[in-house]
Every structure is written in structure tokens, then in C-alpha cells.
């Protein structure tokens, strides 16, 4: 069996995590796990069932019971929750606006963290995992740990470009800046802990970031 290779990438919204992580997984023939999609799927299901903001017990129960299926192929995203294909729906503004409610619940985080670790193990520890607390909580023993950062203006501009022209600038800023502020109350994705390499993507295209990470992989023990 091949040597394990877990690459953990954390960073705020719009830092380029997903693009970088997918490209890297493709390049190295590794599986890919978008952990934000798991939080988004729970938020989608919670909204669908008419959940209200302060019913924490309901959201925890829903997470415990949720059958979440997530594709780990870097080129074929597919997210299902309780039999529903929510691959596109979880990117809708309503989900982006309410996902922090789910992601700041510590019981929900504990449940989803366990499932993330199970997914990593199911892939024989050959996987690129991206999120907010992968380098610190989910896989602090990952072989390569990256904190991807970028200036707020660049992050808002990237998210706006992803969402298209019709989007309200205030809502994009809310999705990026306010959400990161809320999320940072439960995970630290702005300061790198020991052993985590910080890469600033403000002026670098994803391919260049991927190159830097590939160079780090080459320096790992066991590599020629």
C-alpha cells in the first residue's frame, strides 16, 4: 500500500483553498475532502426543516442523524444529505448566510470532526482536506499543514467573481468578512500554529500556490 500523505489546508473565505486543494489532489492522485460542504449540507437541511436560529438541540440532533455523502473525487463534487443531492443548493446565499450558526455549534463540530476523520481513514490517509480547523483540530498530525491567507479586498473580489454579476456587494462582504468573524470565534484560522506553513495567495494564482505546496511535499521523508 502507498505511503500515507495527508495535506491539510485551512484559510478564510476567498483565500483560494478549494481551487488549490482540488488541483493538488488531482496532481498527486489523492482524494479530496471539502469539509465546509459538510457544514453547508447540515445548514441546508436545517433550513429545509424550518429550523430557527436558537434551537441548538435541534441542530445537534439533526447533525447526529444526518446521512451525509460527499464525493472525494477532486473533479466531481457531489454532496448529498439524507438522500437529497444538494451539490448546488449548498452554495446558495441563504445557506452561506446561515452556515455559521451551524459551524459555531461545538457539538455539531465534534460530530462532523469525527466523520471527517473517518473519511480520512477510509482513504488510507491519502487525501487533501480543506477547511478552517484541519491543521489544528481535525488532522493536526497531517504530513503537510498549510494556512492559506489573502487580503480581505482580494477575498471579497474573488467571492464576488464566483457568484456572478447580479450579486449585491453588501451580501458578498457579509458572506466573507462577517462569516469569517463569526467562524473565528470557534476556530483559529488567522494565526498559524507551530509547523503550519503560511502562504499568501493575494498576488499568486492557484497554480503557483500549488507549486509551493508540491515543493513542501517533495521535502517529506520517504520522497526521492
Q: Which residues bind ligand DC (CB under 6 A)?
A: 13, 35-36, 39-40, 99-100, 103, 131-134, 179, 183, 187
Burial track 33-50 (b if 16+ CB lie within 10 A, e otherwise): bbbbbbbbbbbbbbbeee
Q: How far is the CB of 68 from ligand DC (least distance, A)?
A: 13
Nearer to ligand DC, 45 or 183 (CB): 183
Instruction: Please state the closest distance from residue 175 (CB atom) to ligand DC, in A.
Output: 8
Rank residues 29 and 64 by Cβ distance to ligand DC and give the closer one: 64
Nearest-approach distance from CB 224 to ligand DC, in angstroms: 33
Smallest gap, in angstroms, from Cβ of residue 204 to ligand DC?
19
The half-sphere exposure of 63 on its side-chain side, counting CA atoms within 13 A, is 26
Nearer to ligand DC, 22 or 40 (CB): 40
CB 42 within 8 A of CB 81: yes
The CB-of-157 to ligand DC minimum distance in angstroms stands at 16
**Which CB sits closer to ligand DC, 164 or 224?**
164
Q: Which residues lie closer than 8 Å to 212 by C-beta, 6 or more apart?
A: 199
Is the alpha carbon torsion for 62, 63, 66, 69 positive or negative? positive
Query: Which residue blocks in the chain are alpha helix, DSSP H?
Result: 17-28, 35-48, 56-65, 93-103, 106-122, 152-163, 169-173, 179-183, 206-218
- Looking at the Cβ atoms of 29 and 69, the one nearer to ligand DC is 69
Amino acid at each position: 500500500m502507498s505511503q500515507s500523505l495527508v495535506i491539510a489546508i485551512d484559510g478564510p473565505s476567498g483565500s483560494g483553498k478549494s481551487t488549490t486543494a482540488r488541483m493538488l489532489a488531482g496532481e498527486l492522485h489523492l482524494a479530496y475532502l471539502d469539509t465546509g460542504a459538510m457544514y453547508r449540507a447540515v445548514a441546508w437541511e436545517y433550513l429545509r426543516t424550518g429550523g430557527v436560529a436558537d434551537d441548538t438541540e435541534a441542530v445537534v440532533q439533526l447533525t447526529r442523524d444526518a446521512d451525509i455523502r460527499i464525493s472525494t473525487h477532486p473533479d466531481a463534487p457531489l454532496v448529498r444529505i439524507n438522500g437529497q443531492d444538494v451539490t448546488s443548493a449548498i452554495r446558495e446565499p441563504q445557506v452561506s448566510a446561515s452556515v455559521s450558526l451551524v459551524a459555531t455549534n461545538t457539538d455539531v463540530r465534534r460530530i462532523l470532526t469525527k466523520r471527517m476523520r473517518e473519511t480520512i481513514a477510509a482513504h488510507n490517509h491519502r487525501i487533501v482536506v480543506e477547511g478552517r480547523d484541519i491543521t489544528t483540530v481535525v488532522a493536526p498530525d497531517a504530513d503537510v499543514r498549510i494556512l492559506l491567507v489573502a487580503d480581505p479586498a482580494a477575498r471579497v473580489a474573488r467571492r464576488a467573481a464566483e457568484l456572478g454579476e447580479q450579486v449585491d456587494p453588501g451580501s458578498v462582504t457579509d458572506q466573507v468578512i462577517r462569516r469569517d468573524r463569526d467562524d473565528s470565534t470557534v476556530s483559529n484560522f488567522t494565526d498559524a500554529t507551530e509547523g503550519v506553513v503560511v502562504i499568501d495567495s493575494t498576488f499568486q494564482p492557484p497554480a503557483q500556490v500549488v507549486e509551493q505546496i508540491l515543493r513542501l511535499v517533495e521535502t517529506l521523508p520517504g520522497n526521492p
